């Protein structure tokens, strides 16, 4: 399908790398493709970044028919730009779409739109260490009716934002609060899908944690509030007595691409990795006995983020002496090395633009 290009003649001034933060600045263009039940996906286009105009009854505004993805374009040390496992994001977008009865998209078409867009915006990929161009595809139902049905019209849009680190702590350990009141998702619900509603449901607990000085919450399962699930914007891993333990994909947590990549790196280096149920009691015991050696989160925005303190029911547990652990550092170095093209990609994960 031919992608139409309308150039933005009013280019913005690019921000200083030191002011980036996360998701505050946006590039000059956005990519868009429209879907209708009659025509399927049509009219792929890259157009000037601008406000959207949608009908006040649009499905997304009332019933939350929205899913999204997050991936990054990295500036290689040879000056080129590359993506990290983009097909994984496209496959997950389609898995989310199926769960929310939104239209799925041909994987090759989605990859073509994404890569053409990154080509147009590649000058926005910052050069400074630790920075990247965050890409945010999102897909929403756009019927002009208040009836609750599967949608007949939808839009897929990709926007891009030059970013620095997600947490103000950067690679320094973050403090995480274990939430025992609100729940994020239940099996059979939408926990495994990357839909906006999951984040809306998470905000109250996240705010309570932030008000107490914690970066994010660690969720427990929605039924028994007993098993560890994931953090607000990342999956979570623990090193307990030398073994890496991470919650299994039970349907209520996001199947993170960074999580999958960490597991593959760990296994390739001979670490024992267990994907299984991990109860809060087991974690509490491991924290109290010193068996918990490291804890870290992993995600596209957060990269690999050491956890230096966990708080559960008012009791604070320091993890790893509040410092980044060896395995956490190794994963950070390996993944960021591959992503920024500084170390050889023996896994075949990078996709040059
Ligand atoms: N879990 C949640 C709730 C997230 O928002 C994210 C971020 O995308 C992740 C996990 C990590 O997923 P990924 O590594 O694919 O970015
Ligand atoms: C990502 O890591 O890409 C995410 O989507 C996290 C986000 C909610 C900030």
Mean pLDDT score, 114-139: 97
Residue ID of nearest Cα to ligand 2 atom 6: 233
Count CB-CB contacts under 10 A for residue 11: 12
Residue ID of nearest Cα to ligand 2 atom 8: 233
Q: pLDDT at position 171, please?
A: 80
> Could you tell me the distance, in angstroms and rounded to a whole number, from the CA of residue 100 to the centre of ligand 1?
18
Mean pLDDT score, 317-344: 94
Q: pLDDT at position 258, please?
A: 98
Averaged pLDDT of the chain: 96
Q: pLDDT at position 26, please?
A: 98
Q: pLDDT at position 123, please?
A: 97
Mean pLDDT score, 347-352: 97
Q: pLDDT at position 167, please?
A: 76
Residues 241-291: tens digit of each pLDDT: 999 999 999 999 999 999 999 999 999 999 999 999 999 999 999 999 999
> Could you tell me the distance, in angstroms and rounded to a whole number, from the CA of residue 37 to the centre of ligand 2?
30
Of the CA atoms within 13 Å of residue 178, those in its CB half-sphere come to 23
**Statement: residue 118 has pLDDT above 80:** yes
CATH of 174-339, one of 3.40.50.620, 1.20.140.10, 3.20.10.10, 1.20.1250.20: 3.20.10.10
In the structure encoding, which two tokens stand for residue 85, read together?
Answer: 């496992």
Q: How confident is the model at residue 353 (pLDDT cuts 50, 70, 90)?
A: very high
Q: pLDDT at position 210, please?
A: 95
Q: With a 6 A CB cut-off, is 256 part of the ligand 1 pocket?
A: yes
How is the chain split into domains, by residue range? 4-164, 174-339
Mean pLDDT score, 136-156: 96
Q: pLDDT at position 322, please?
A: 84
Choosing from 71, 166, 194 the residue with most ligand 1 atoms within 8 A of its CB, the one to mutate for a pocket test is: 194
Q: pLDDT at position 338, please?
A: 96
- Residues 6 or more apart whose CB falls under 8 angstroms from that of 88 comprise 257, 260
Q: pLDDT at position 166, please?
A: 84
Give Cα separations from 87 to 80, 108, 259, 302 (angstroms): 20, 9, 15, 20
Choosing from 71, 135, 300, 335 the residue with most ligand 1 atoms within 8 A of its CB, the one to mutate for a pocket test is: 300
3-state secondary structure string across 199-261: HHHHHHHHHHHHHCCCCEEEEECCCCCCEEEEECCEEEEEEECCEEEEECCCCCCCCCHHHHH
Q: How many residues does the chain have?
A: 353
**Statement: residue 318 has pLDDT above 90:** yes
Percent of the chain with pLDDT over 70: 100
Distance separating alpha carbons of residues 28 and 353, to the nearest angstrom: 18
* Residue 266 DSSP label: H
**Statement: residue 86 has pLDDT above 80:** yes
Count CB-CB contacts under 10 A for residue 289: 10
**Statement: residue 165 has pLDDT above 90:** no
Residues 168-210: tens digit of each pLDDT: 777 889 999 999 999 999 989 999 999 999 999 999 999 999 9
Residues 18-59: tens digit of each pLDDT: 999 999 999 999 999 999 999 999 999 999 999 999 999 999
Distance separating alpha carbons of residues 176 and 198, to the nearest angstrom: 19
Nearest bound ligand to the CA of residue 166? 2
- Specify the fold of 4-164: D-amino Acid Aminotransferase; Chain A, domain 1 (3.30.470)
- Residues 6 or more apart whose CB falls under 8 angstroms from that of 39 comprise none
81 bridge partner residues = 75
Mean pLDDT score, 280-303: 95
163: left (phi over 0), alpha (psi -120 to 50) or beta: beta
């Amino acid at each position: 399908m031919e992608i139409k290009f309308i150039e933005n003649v009013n280019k913005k001034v690019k921000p200083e790398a030191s002011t980036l933060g996360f998701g505050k600045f946006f590039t000059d263009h956005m990519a868009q493709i429209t879907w209708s039940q009659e025509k399927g996906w049509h009219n792929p286009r890259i157009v000037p970044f601008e406000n959207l105009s949608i009908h006040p009854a649009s499905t997304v505004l009332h019933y939350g028919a929205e899913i999204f993805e997050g991936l990054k374009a990295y500036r290689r040390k040879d000056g080129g730009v590359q993506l990290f496992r983009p097909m994984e994001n496209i496959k997950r977008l389609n898995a989310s779409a199926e769960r929310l009865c939104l239209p799925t998209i041909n994987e090759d078409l989605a990859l073509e739109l994404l890569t053409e867009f990154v080509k147009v915006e590649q000058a926005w990929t910052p050069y400074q260490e630790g920075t990247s161009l965050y890409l945010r595809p999102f897909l929403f139902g756009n019927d002009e009716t208040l009836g609750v049905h599967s949608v007949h019209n939808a839009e897929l849009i990709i926007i891009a934002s030059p970013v620095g680190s997600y947490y103000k702590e950067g690679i320094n350990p973050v403090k995480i609060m274990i939430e025992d009141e609100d729940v994020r998702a239940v099996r059979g619900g939408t926990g495994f899908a990357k839909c906006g509603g999951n984040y809306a449901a998470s905000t109250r607990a996240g705010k309570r944690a932030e008000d107490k000085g914690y970066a994010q919450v660690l969720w427990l399962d929605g039924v028994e509030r007993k098993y560890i699930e994931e953090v607000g914007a990342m999956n979570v891993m623990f090193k307990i007595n030398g073994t890496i333990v991470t919650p299994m994909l039970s349907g209520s947590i996001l199947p993170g691409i960074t999580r999958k990549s960490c597991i593959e790196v760990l296994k390739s280096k001979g670490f024992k990795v267990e994907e299984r149920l991990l109860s809060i009691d087991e974690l509490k015991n491991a924290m109290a006995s010193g068996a918990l050696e490291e804890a870290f989160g992993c995600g596209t925005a957060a990269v690999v983020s050491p956890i230096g303190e966990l708080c559960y029911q008012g009791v604070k547990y320091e993890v790893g002496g509040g410092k980044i652990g060896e395995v956490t550092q190794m994963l950070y170095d390996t993944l960021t090395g591959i992503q920024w093209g500084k170390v050889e990609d023996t896994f075949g994960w990078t996709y040059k633009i």
